[in-house]
């Protein structure tokens, strides 16, 4: 407990791996992630039985699957968190290439699962969403390019990262998956800003993104329908947004009670995209505020630790991962309360979904690896060594 309050304790480089990992890891962030996963299982017990009944499955079929996915995600998270930044970067590059190939092949062999957007590959009885696994790999690869551009005689890494971003966004827009495309653009913009990009350039790119959105609205019926539904002053109570909005109002401050909610009976995505509506209806605003506080804790603590990091690659990659994690949660909850148009985006570690929770485990594992205490990277230590 002393370490959690006062910070991690540096250890000598010769210490065994596990003690060194335990002393240098951000235990508060790791604890928040485990609590979020526990809340997701709790909400799964409420949200998934109606769906299981409609599909003639055991009542807690989806909960047991989510538990299995979660165990894999936690194992992957812990494994990545023990790695060095160099090893994380190497694995991220390999994972990014594989995920990018899978993304490119979606128009050829992908499936839409009846949702109107080709975002999944189905292999046997399993399916996965390449964009979920692409995000953490993209962040690390883009950060590597940007860090390399700051070295003397280094390549034009910022230009390479921008070109890569444009290609990925184009393939995501073809699905169409504008939510993930926006996340990729946001991640690149945050890292580029941290790398010292002029604000005028970022504003120009934001204007270009708005222009691309206008074109997408004109050309994509799927995109236009969601935007029109968001801008409409009236919400059809028979739509997912209508059911979610009503559930949040009914929940009030303390909720209707465990198992007493009704939104799970009407929403087909109550266990995934709109899981926060189930939380708000049955447990009230209190649980929603707890969930928000956990996400804020992860992002703020990670950014605070990264501010002390002297390695530009670690700083860029960690910032990108932390911000994407927090913004994805914000988008999911913003859609449920109709602050944002529907995106089809999960709530990390809380929503049901194998791709979502395992990819989130990879991303947070990388983030934990980048935010581990590295005394040799502190500016004060560097100055002391130079003064000797």
Query: Residue 223: its pLDDT value, please?
Result: 66
Rounded to whole angstroms, how far apart are CA atoms 387 and 129? 52
Whether 387 is in a domain gets the answer: no
Burial pattern 342-363, b for ≥16 Cβ within 10 A else e, equals: bbbbbbbbbbbbbbbbbbbbbb
Q: How many CA atoms lie within 13 A of 278 on its CB side?
A: 30
Report the pLDDT value the prediction gives residue 236, as an integer from 0 to 100.
57
Q: What is the pLDDT of residue 126?
A: 77
Residue 111 included in any domain: yes
In whole angstroms, give the CA distance from residue 135 to residue 334.
Answer: 20
Q: Domain span at residue 175? A: 38-374
Q: Tell me, yes or no, whether 48 lies in a domain.
A: yes
Number of compact structural domains in the chain: 1
Per residue, the 3-state secondary structure of 83-140, as one string, reads CCHHHHHHHHHHHHHHHHHHHHCHHHHCECCCCCCCCEEEECCEEECHHHHHHHHHHH
Domain membership of residue 5 (yes or no) is: no
Q: Are the C-beta atoms of 359 and 133 separated by less than 8 Å? A: yes
Of 68, 136, 124, whose CA–CA distance to 352 is shortest? Answer: 68
**Tell me, what's the pLDDT at 380?**
43
CA distance 298 to 55: 36
Give DSSP secondary structure letters for 350-368: TS--HHHHHHHHHHHHHHH
Per DSSP, 377 falls in state: G
Q: Mean pLDDT per 10-residue run, the chain (388 residues)?
A: 44 69 93 96 88 87 93 96 95 96 89 75 81 95 94 86 93 85 91 83 76 71 66 63 79 82 77 87 93 97 93 95 95 85 84 92 97 64 44
> How confident is the model at residue 379, as a pLDDT?
42
Tell me, yes or no, whether 193 lies in a domain.
yes
| 8 Å CB contact between 327 and 183 | yes
Is 10 among the domain residues? Answer: no
pLDDT, position 16: 77
Q: Is residue 256 included in any domain, yes or no?
A: yes
Does 8 fall in a domain?
no
């Amino acid at each position: 407990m002393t370490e959690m309050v006062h910070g991690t304790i540096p250890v000598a480089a010769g210490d065994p791996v596990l003690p060194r990992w335990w002393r240098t890891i951000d235990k508060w962030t790791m604890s928040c992630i485990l609590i979020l996963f526990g809340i997701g299982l709790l909400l799964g017990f409420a949200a998934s039985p109606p769906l299981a009944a409609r599909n003639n499955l055991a009542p807690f079929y989806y909960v047991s699957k989510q538990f299995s996915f979660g165990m894999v995600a936690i194992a992957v998270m812990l494994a990545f968190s023990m790695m060095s930044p160099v090893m994380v970067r190497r694995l991220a590059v390999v994972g990014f290439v594989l995920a990018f190939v899978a993304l490119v092949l979606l128009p050829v062999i992908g499936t839409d699962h009846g949702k109107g957007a080709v975002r999944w590959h189905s292999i046997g009885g399993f399916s996965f969403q390449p964009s979920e696994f692409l995000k953490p790999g993209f962040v690390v690869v883009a950060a590597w390019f940007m860090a390399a551009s700051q070295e003397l005689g280094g390549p034009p890494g910022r230009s390479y990262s921008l070109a890569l971003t444009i290609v990925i966004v184009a393939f995501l827009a073809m699905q169409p998956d504008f939510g993930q495309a926006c996340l990729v653009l946001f991640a690149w913009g945050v890292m580029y800003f941290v790398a010292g990009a002029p604000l005028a350039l970022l504003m120009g790119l934001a204007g270009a993104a708005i222009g691309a959105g206008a074109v997408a609205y004109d050309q994509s019926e799927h995109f236009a329908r969601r935007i029109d539904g968001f801008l409409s002053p009236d919400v059809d109570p028979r739509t997912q947004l209508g059911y979610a909005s009503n559930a949040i109002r009914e929940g009030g401050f303390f909720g209707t009670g465990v198992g007493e909610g009704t939104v799970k009976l009407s929403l087909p995505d109550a266990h995934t995209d709109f899981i926060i509506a189930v939380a708000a209806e049955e447990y009230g605003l209190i649980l929603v505020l707890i969930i928000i506080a956990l996400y804020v804790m992860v992002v703020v603590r990670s950014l605070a630790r990264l501010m002390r990091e002297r390695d530009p690659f670690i700083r860029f990659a960690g910032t990108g991962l932390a911000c994407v994690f927090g913004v994805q949660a914000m988008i999911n909850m913003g859609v449920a309360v109709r602050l944002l148009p529907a995106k089809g985006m999960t709530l990390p570690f809380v929503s049901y979904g194998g791709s979502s929770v395992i990819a989130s485990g990879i991303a947070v594992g990388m983030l934990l690896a980048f935010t581990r205490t590295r005394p040799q990277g502190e500016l004060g230590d560097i100055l002391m060594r130079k003064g000797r």
